Amino acid sequence: MMLELQSDCRIDENQASSSFVDKQIKTCSSAELAQWLHNDRQQVVLLDCRPSSENNTSFAGAQKILLPTVLMRRLQNGTLAPGSLAPQLAEQTDQVRVILIPDKCDNDVMASKVYKMLVKKKFDVFCFEDEPEEFARHFPTLIESTSYAGTRKKAGLNLCLLTDKFSENVIKPSADRGFPAKIFHCVYLGNDDTAKNRELLKRFGIDYVINVTSDLPNYYETDGDFHYLRIPVDDSHSHNLAKYFPGMHFYTF
């Protein structure tokens, strides 16, 4: 099992709103989204761009967008690969409809940047225009009952933690905590508090850590229960990671 930890890209929750007002942005209503999900769920990609503090209503099947600093920088620069947001977006296709659950209508927030990037890549993108609570009232079967209202206070972290892949006693992330957040099977995102919490790491069965932050210590490097691999990664196309692959192979396979 692997836990990848990130630095927080926080948005002021007091400024958050789920409505996009830009008339050039395509939107969809609660009824339209429900119809698309019922008719062909496999062709709908839901991307939840809201801060963790807003996630009292979780859309079933939605993928939470939690970008580490390096990926947030690429998003801002327009160089982020769509597949970094969701596996279904690795290749452009007219068969996929992308729905964004936005944080607010502002050029400086994540949803707006994701929308512009996907449109530029020729994806069919819509922004959900209604309040999530309204969608939950009308279509409760399309809502998960969990909350992702965990707080994220620490910044300055980019690392990857891997647990023993043979462990049978691994628990799921707590619903009331923003981190660790599940990305896919055996892969999680976390923050500095997670990395320093030995009890939490052991509860999740985390034994292997890949640290890609140059100024972040390996907190339990002297503890025989944890194994660390440091990879100093720069956000540059010229950065060669090939020399690290042999060591990473041991950690991930």
Residue 202: per-residue pLDDT: 83
230 and 137 share a domain? no
What pLDDT score does 99 carry? 96
Asked, for residue 253, whether it belongs to a domain, the answer is: no
Q: Which residues contact 85 (CB under 8 A, 6 or more apart)?
A: 47, 63, 65, 114
On whether both 44 and 139 belong to a single domain, the answer is yes
Does residue 189 share a domain with residue 119?
A: no
46 bridge partner residues: 99
Which residues, listed in sequence order, are joined to residue 98 by a DSSP beta bridge? 45, 125
CA 216, CA 228: separation in Å to the nearest integer?
A: 12
CA distance 85 to 71: 10
Task: Give the pLDDT confidence score for residue 65 in this predicted structure.
Answer: 86
Position 150 in a domain: no
Q: What is the CATH classification number for the domain harbouring 216?
A: 3.90.190.10
Question: Is 71 inside any structural domain?
Answer: yes
| 37 and 106 share one domain | yes
The reply to whether 33 and 136 lie within a common domain is yes
Query: Is residue 62 a part of any domain in this protein?
Result: yes
Name the stretches of the chain with pLDDT < 70: 1-23, 52-56, 104-108, 145-191, 213-214, 232-253
Q: What is the pLDDT of residues 224-238, one digit of tens each?
A: 888 888 876 655 555
What is the per-residue DSSP string for 140-157?
GGGEES----------S-
One domain, residues 226 and 137: no
Give 159's strand partners: 5, 211
**72 and 129 inside one domain:** yes
Same domain, 95 and 198: no
Give the range of the structural domain holding residue 196, as residue numbers without chain letter: 181-234
Same domain, 137 and 188: no
Same domain (yes/no): 31, 139: yes
Residue 12 within a domain: no
- pTM of the full structure: 0.54
pLDDT at 13: 38
Provide the pLDDT for residue 12. Answer: 41
User: How many independent structural domains does the chain possess?
Assistant: 2
Cα angle 35-22-77, degrees, rounded to a multiple of 5: 100
- For position 132, which CATH number holds? 3.40.250.10
In a domain, 7, yes or no: no
